[in-house]
Amino acid sequence: MVAVPLLVTSAMLLSQPASSHGYRSQHITNDILTFAKTRNIGSIVILTCWPLGAKSEAALLMSQHGIMVSFSIKTILNSKRKPDQRSGAVIDFSCPKAAFLVRNVFVWDLFDAGTDWLVVAEEWPSEKPATERLLEAFQNVFPSSDSNVFLSVENKMENCTDACRKKLFEVYGGATVPVEGYSFQVDWNRRSDLRSALLRTCTVVRTSGKELATKTPDSLMEMDVWALMHASVIEILSHQLNFRYEMYFVNDYGWSFNGNYSGLMGLFQRGKIDLTATGIFTRPDRLPLVDYTVETFQIRRVI
């Protein structure tokens, strides 16, 4: 993966001076600590334009609570964390180019299930409202449905009461939704409504590549009983969880060649799909690539 555009953006973000309002790293650091402890995060990446002294203070505070800290996007790009390890990342939206960084994080599929994200902003007079700027930045950004992305806005207006001082939003299902109170707990009942998010799914039809390219989706489904059986499953799920889907077709479940998978597993490995529209067998070599759900249909062989 060549990540030059993202790395350049990160460098620009970290090297630019802050606005004339000065650095307010202490308040943000406390929010980051609350976020990390609530989400049970052991390591966190803070992408900000704070001066070196403010970064050192933040790192010291985090280390006192057993949380490892980095200030480089490379930490996420080069991460080889285990599936059971939670990590976090923070974007300081008061820094220049922060909106551009948000877009690049989405383009490079870093809004995933393994990293919890917090985007922090502050509301000041004579500026375009931070809430409006945040919502604009996430207008065409669609984190994966199993990711955890929070937007925090602290109001610095003089006439703001304690009730309006802080606002928290959660991004999921293609929408930005206000969170009652200031809690980073995920409401999984709310997550059962994906708000018409567009998910990418794929099924396997055992046929030639030529037929995959020329036949219609309905005719392809009729060619493979296993694919046809699961077509109704994905349709029911889309209604129950309120999501739309794009269906792709391949003719291979996927095998590893020097660590690179073909077929269906290859699409998962490259981040091209969100879920399957067919049942697949559980195998140890597939576990790092996918999360299995439940049994769909039993296969019995009678001799």
Residue 153 — left, alpha, or beta (φ > 0 → left; ψ -120 to 50 → alpha)?
Answer: beta
User: Is beta strand 115-123 parallel, antiparallel or unpaired with respect to 87-92?
Assistant: parallel
187-203 pLDDT, tens digit per residue, is 666 667 776 778 889 99
Residue 265, pLDDT score: 93
Burial 126-142 (b: 16+ CB within 10 A, else e): eeeebbebbeebbeebb
CA nearest to 199, candidates 151, 250, 146, 270:
146
Q: Which CATH superfamily is domain 4-191 in?
A: Response regulator (3.40.50.2300)
103-140 pLDDT, tens digit per residue, is 888 888 888 777 899 998 876 655 677 777 887 888 77
User: Is beta strand 148-155 parallel, antiparallel or unpaired with respect to 115-123?
Assistant: parallel
Higher pLDDT, 65 or 297: 65
264-279 pLDDT, tens digit per residue, is 999 988 888 988 989 8
Where do the domains of the chain lie?
A: 4-191, 197-286
Class of domain 197-286: alpha beta
Question: Is pTM, for the whole model, over 0.85?
Answer: no
Higher pLDDT, 60 or 297: 60
Average pLDDT over residues 41-67: 91
Task: Name residues whose C-beta falls within 8 Å of residue 53's C-beta, 6 or more positions apart in sequence.
Answer: none
Average pLDDT over residues 212-228: 82
